[in-house]
């Protein structure tokens, strides 16, 4: 990015009923620049009272005869396209906000905005194609099914892909005709507020989308507990996902979808081109500084190419340019905050102590900003902490294996099941692996092949429900059966 000057941050208040408002308490919280550890701006801090206001607005917008509920489905589609166009118009500003509070390279943030636009456009096309079926039921009945919006949706999102995750939640919710209260992560609320302003500009009726920045246990907790919220969609840690299930069980049994952590295996057989495999494995693990729920953080390499692979993996990691997100050549910015920096460094230390071989990196980089050296461990064993815990940082763990049967067993030996990859030129090996691995997405001879059309979500403790694709739409629909006596 040539121009490094900071554009004005226009939106720092809660967005409720198409207005930017202060929190009832007038409280604010600081948003920190992870590259400098300095405050960017103060943002209004939502608490229970504010969540109540936002949910009331979303509920009113969902009333039977509201403008939103009576709008033609095709008009809803046009509104979503308009929002996508406005996001595209403001892509540089949005990418700037994303790089500023998250710390990801600006060029990567621009790609995130592109994905965001595509997700909105993809779901816009669905609005007038959501339909039920006719059912040949026993008896003298004409029976049909209708698919209806689930209602008021509470959405809680993390800081690693603020805009992309917002799109994965808003686009299907709006396409189906739901109304939304979104709580962005406290670390990265800026882009969601800017998109809320664009939703107003696009012409969404008031109350259809609301954004309440604030902390997890307070604003997030209030949303999860709220009796007028019909569904909660959450992306974040498995720990909080568990808490959400408990609270929902004790409140109104709202629908729940969860997209949680992972410890995804990428398995590399010795029939592949090693240089290419090293490159794919590097991107699988280090994309977004490793702050990626589907990061290929366990790299299994077959013994025939193991030594060569390890050497080259360390070399490519060493070449990573770590630094200012707004410098064109930067590959990796800072981790998002002090807490994540501490977590990543703690796990790196555990790797060293438990006997993994440090090939490169292993320390904090510099002393201002939450930067971590890209780190590669080889000789990792399946029971080490770095083999089991989600690190969520730029740390690659390389394991050696011999046979397909062995590696399938080891790949599946995890409580997670979000994604998995395999690199091989043998189609039978690839298919055997794809069929046996317990994960929601399997990538063959590639990694991170995510698209608006591809359902994404976890097996096991990586979550429940799916986002993206047609499956993602179903998460926001209730099915109604209507039987008519003939």
Catalytic positions = 259
- Is residue 34 close enough to count as binding ligand TXE by CB under 6 A? no
Nearer to ligand TXE (CB atom), residue 177 or residue 290: 290
> Which stretch in 16-24, 209-217, 374-382, 422-430 sits in contact with ligand TXE by CB under 6 A?
209-217
Q: Does 235 bind ligand TXE (CB under 6 A)?
A: yes
Q: Locate 312 and state its tokens.
A: 């080259």
Sole residue written with tokens 């009726």: 205
**Least gap, CB of 327 to ligand TXE (angstroms):** 26
Q: Which window, 12-20, 99-107, 210-218, 267-275, contacts ligand TXE (CB under 6 A)?
A: 210-218
Site for ligand TXE in 237-266 (CB under 6 A): 237, 240, 243, 259-261
**Strands (DSSP E) found in 78-176:** 134-135, 141-149, 152-156
**Which of residues 156 and 314 has its CB atom nearest to ligand TXE in the complex?**
156
Q: Does 293 bind ligand TXE (CB under 6 A)?
A: yes
For residues 349 and 334, give the distance between their C-alpha atoms in angstroms, rounded to a whole number.
19
Tell me how many helices (H) and strands (E) the chain has. 16, 20
132 in contact with ligand TXE (CB under 6 A): no
State the CB neighbour count (10 A cutoff) for residue 366.
12
DSSP 3-state of 204 = coil
The reply to whether 217 sits near ligand TXE by the rule CB under 6 A is: yes
Closest by CA to 112, choosing from 132, 97, 133, is: 97
Contact in structure between 156 and 235 (CB atoms under 8 Å)? yes
Q: Which residue stretch of 41-49, 63-71, 233-241, 467-475 sits at the interface with ligand TXE (rule: CB under 6 A)?
A: 233-241
- Rounded to 10 deg, the angle between the 73-89 and 162-176 helix axes is 160
Nearer to ligand TXE, 114 or 216 (CB): 216
Burial of 146: CB neighbours in 10 Å, binned 0-12, 13-18, 19+: middle
x/- mask, ligand TXE, residues 305-344, rule CB under 6 A, reads -----------------------------------x--x-
Nearer to ligand TXE, 125 or 217 (CB): 217
In the complex, which residue's CB is closest to ligand TXE?
216
The yes or no reply on residue 390 touching ligand TXE (CB under 6 A) is yes
Specify the DSSP class assigned to residue 303. G
**Can you tell me which of 207, 221, 325, 440 binds ligand TXE, judged by CB under 6 A?**
221
Judged by CB under 6 A, the residue of 158, 207, 323, 369 near ligand TXE is 158
216 binds ligand TXE (CB under 6 A): yes
* CB contact at 8 A, 130 and 473: yes
166 contacts 157 by C-beta, under 8 angstroms: yes
Nearer to ligand TXE, 16 or 240 (CB): 240
| Per-residue mark of binding to ligand TXE, 87-116 (x: CB under 6 A) | ------------------------------
Q: Considering only the stretches 117-125, 216-224, 442-450, 475-483, report the one whose residues sit in contact with ligand TXE under the rule CB under 6 A.
A: 216-224
Please give the residues from 175 up to 204 whose contact with ligand TXE meets the rule CB under 6 A: 183, 185-186
Tokens 């919220």 -> residue: 229
Closest distance to ligand TXE from the beta carbon of 257 (Å):
12
What span, in angstroms and rounded, lies between the C-alpha atoms of 355 and 350? 9
Residues forming beta bridges with residue 442, ordered by sequence position? 420
Please say whether the beta carbons of 77 and 125 come within 8 A: yes
* One of 103, 154, 177, 236 touching ligand TXE (CB under 6 A): 236
For the bound state, the minimum distance from the C-beta of residue 260 to ligand TXE, rounded and expressed in Å, comes to 5
Q: Would you give the distance in Å from CA 126 to the centre of its chain?
A: 22
The CA distance from 377 to 396, in Å, is: 6
| Other beta carbons less than 10 A from residue 295's beta carbon | 32
**What is the rounded CA–CA span in Å between residue 390 and residue 344?**
9
H or E segment and range at residue 15: strand 14-16
Q: Which residues of the chain form contacts with ligand TXE (CB under 6 A)? A: 156-158, 160, 183, 185-186, 215-217, 220-221, 224, 235-237, 240, 243, 259-261, 293, 340, 343, 390, 392
């Amino acid at each position: 990015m040539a121009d490094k000057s900071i554009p004005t941050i226009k939106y720092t208040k809660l967005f409720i009923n198409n207005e930017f408002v202060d929190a009832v308490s007038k409280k604010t919280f600081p948003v920190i620049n992870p590259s400098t550890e300095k405050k960017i701006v103060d943002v209004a801090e939502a608490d229970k009272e504010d969540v109540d206001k936002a949910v009331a607005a979303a509920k009113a917008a969902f009333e039977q005869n509201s403008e939103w509920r009576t709008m033609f489905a095709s008009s809803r589609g046009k509104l979503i396209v308009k929002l996508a166009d406005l996001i595209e118009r403001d892509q540089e500003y949005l990418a700037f906000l994303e790089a500023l509070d998250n710390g990801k390279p600006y060029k990567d943030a621009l790609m995130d905005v592109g994905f965001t636009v595509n997700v909105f456009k993809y779901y816009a096309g669905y609005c007038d194609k959501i339909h039920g079926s006719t059912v040949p039921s026993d008896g003298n009945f004409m029976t049909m099914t209708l698919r209806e919006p689930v209602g008021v949706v509470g959405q809680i999102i993390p800081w690693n892909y603020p805009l992309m995750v917002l799109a994965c939640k808003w686009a299907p919710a709006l396409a189906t005709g739901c109304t939304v209260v979104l709580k962005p992560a406290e670390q990265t609320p800026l882009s969601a507020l800017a998109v809320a302003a664009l939703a107003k500009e696009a012409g969404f009726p008031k109350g259809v989308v609301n954004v309440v920045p604030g902390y997890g246990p307070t604003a997030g907790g209030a949303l999860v507990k709220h009796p007028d919220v019909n569904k909660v969609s959450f992306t974040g840690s498995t720990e909080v996902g568990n808490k959400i299930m408990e609270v929902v069980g004790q409140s109104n049994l709202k629908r729940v979808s969860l997209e949680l952590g992972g410890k995804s295996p990428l398995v590399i057989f010795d029939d592949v081109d090693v240089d290419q495999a090293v490159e794919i494995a590097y991107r699988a693990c280090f994309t977004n500084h490793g702050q990626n729920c589907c990061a290929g953080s366990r790299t299994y390499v077959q013994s025939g190419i193991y030594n060569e692979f390890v050497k080259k993996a360390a070399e490519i990691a060493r070449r990573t340019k770590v630094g200012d997100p707004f410098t064109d050549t930067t590959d990796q910015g800072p981790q998002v905050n002090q807490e994540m920096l501490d977590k990543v460094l703690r796990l790196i230390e555990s790797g060293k102590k438990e006997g993994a071989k440090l090939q490169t990196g292993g320390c904090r980089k510099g002393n201002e900003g939450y930067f971590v050296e890209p780190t590669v461990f080889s000789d990792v064993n399946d029971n080490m902490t770095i083999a089991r815990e989600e690190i969520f940082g730029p740390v690659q763990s390389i394991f050696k294996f011999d046979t397909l049967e062995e590696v399938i067993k080891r790949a599946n030996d995890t409580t997670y099941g979000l994604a998995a990859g395999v690199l091989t030129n043998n189609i039978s090996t690839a298919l055997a692996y794809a069929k046996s691995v317990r994960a929601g997405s399997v990538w063959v001879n590639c990694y991170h092949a995510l698209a608006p059309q591809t359902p994404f979500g976890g097996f096991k403790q990586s979550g429940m429900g799916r986002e993206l694709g047609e499956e993602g739409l179903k998460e926001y629909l209730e099915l109604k059966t209507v039987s008519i006596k003939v």
